[in-house]
Amino acid sequence: MTRNRSDLLWILAFAALVAFAIPWFLWGDATVVAGLPLWLWWHVGWMALASVAFYAFARTGGWDRGVDAGVIRRG
């Protein structure tokens, strides 16, 4: 995959993470699951998904995008 395409995919992935971080569609919903409101479970699951996305971003070489690696190595 080309770098530009990879960059675009990461931008879209993180934009989706931000866009759906707040469950607007659950406002006013009083559903309770395992003693906690459904919106709270949404946040727990969303933070897990965000952690997996960030892990993949860091492991696939996305971390150095926009960062001058040479400057970092020199200190």
Q: List the end-to-end C-alpha distance of the chain, in Å, as a whole number.
A: 31
pLDDT given for residue 64 in this prediction: 67
pLDDT, tens digit, 9 for 90 and up, residues 29-65: 888 999 999 889 999 999 999 999 989 888 886 766 6
Domain-wise residue ranges, the chain: 3-64
Please state the pTM of the whole predicted model. Answer: 0.72
The closest of 55, 52, 48, 57 to 10, measured between CA atoms, is 57
